[in-house]
Amino acid sequence: MNKIKNTLFTVKPVTIDNNSLIMAIESSCDETACAIVKGGRKVISNVVASQIKIHEEYGGVIPEIAAREHLEAINVVIDEAFKQAGVSGNQIDAFAGTVGPGLVGCLLVGLNAAKSLALTYDKPFIGINHLNAHLAANFIDTDLEPPFIALLVSGGHTQIIKVNSYSDMQIIGETIDDAVGEAYDKVARLIGLPYPGGPKLDKLAQEGNPFAFKLPEAKVGEYDFSFSGLKTAALRLVKSFDGKDLPLADICASFQECVSSTLYKKVKHALEETDFKQVVLAGGVAANSEIRKKIFSLADLGYKVYAPAMKYCTDNASMVASAAYFFDNTFDNIDVEVFSRVK
């Protein structure tokens, strides 16, 4: 793939191809990350500073604290990414940064750092949508090319997307209330697991009986989702034990079964209706053991299935660099502003 981008000061055309190095920065929530990726698929360096330990004591991300932590970490993370790759700023062909959606104060730190690097080294700047970045995690170390159906499941979003080409995507279904990661974190909190509860709930679920309790599946549009009713049902179930002998693993396993089978059914339906042969799992919740297992079982029906390696599921900057390389619907204007939500 060849793309032509202009540098910022001299407006010199730069060709982005298989050998190009893109440095990207991600700071949309509670991870400060910087990475260098070659040709969109080969990670040269990947540095992530997580703030989970800091937010754990509040049971969730506090935006102001998160933004300050990004400020503290950003230069260290950038230096480390250069160091691990053994390259200098002059050798980078373009700089990319997450524009949104995310926490505005947090995004500002990473985006301005990426813009500053592009200005300093007089290279192109590429602004990236965080959701496109999660999808692009699937290009790392693979030969994936569109068209494909994507299931994007993160802390803030749950979508089924028809990726027709690098420049043409359609969201065909999404959640009408909670995102999958959000539902995991809320139910985990309910049963006393520390933030972020999703991975911990997943771990407990692996020891339980997924059919111990029948939890309700929402009846919404063909590709849409709703998880708030399930969350309430989980709350009622927990309360019914009145604090005595709570069968934690069985509750977690039953919750996980309900979520993963809903996701599986809707994705399978989307594949059948669109006739696409490839399916991609993306977002932080793509790290979930049962959701991975069910989506990978689509391979038995003849579909080619992709999911990022664990370290590229949750927020990282390699996926941002990969999105900058592959996707056309990016924000290449140095004046682009951060945004908190998709309009």
Residue 284 in contact with ligand KG4, rule: CB under 6 A: yes
Which residues on neighbouring strands pair with residue 45, listed in sequence order?
36
Residue 51 in contact with ligand KG4, rule: CB under 6 A: no
Contacts of 275 by beta carbon, 8 Å cutoff, 6+ apart = none
Residue 32 in contact with Zn ion, rule: CB under 5 A: no
Specify the 3-state DSSP secondary structure of 57.
Answer: coil
Residue 288 in contact with ligand KG4, rule: CB under 6 A: yes
Tokens found for residue 147? 């068209």
Quick one: what does residue 199 bind among Zn ion, ligand KG4, none, with the CB cut-off 5 to 8 Å set by partner type? Answer: ligand KG4
Contacts of 299 by beta carbon, 8 Å cutoff, 6+ apart = 305
Q: Which one of the spans 18-26, 85-93, 149-157, 317-325 is the region binding ligand KG4 (CB under 6 A)?
A: 149-157
What CA–CA distance (Å, rounded) separates 208 from 204?
A: 7
What CA–CA distance (Å, rounded) separates 326 from 1?
A: 8
Q: Which one of the spans 84-92, 121-129, 138-146, 280-288 is the region binding ligand KG4 (CB under 6 A)?
A: 280-288
Specify the 3-state DSSP secondary structure of 247.
Answer: coil
**Interface residue with ligand KG4, options 196, 208, 210, 308 (CB under 6 A):** 196
Under rule CB under 6 A, which residues in 308-337 are in contact with ligand KG4? 314-315
Residue 257 in contact with Zn ion, rule: CB under 5 A: no
What CA–CA distance (Å, rounded) separates 54 from 160?
A: 32
Which residues on neighbouring strands pair with residue 278, listed in sequence order?
304
Under rule CB under 5 A, which residues in 303-332 are in contact with Zn ion? 315
Give the nearest distance from C-beta 297 to ligand KG4 in angstroms. 17
**Interface residue with Zn ion, options 45, 154, 159, 278 (CB under 5 A):** 154
Cβ atoms of residues 249 and 201 within 8 Å: no
What residues line the site for Zn ion (CB under 5 A)? Answer: 154, 315
What residues line the site for ligand KG4 (CB under 6 A)? Answer: 29, 154-156, 181, 184-185, 196, 198-199, 202, 283-285, 287-288, 314-315
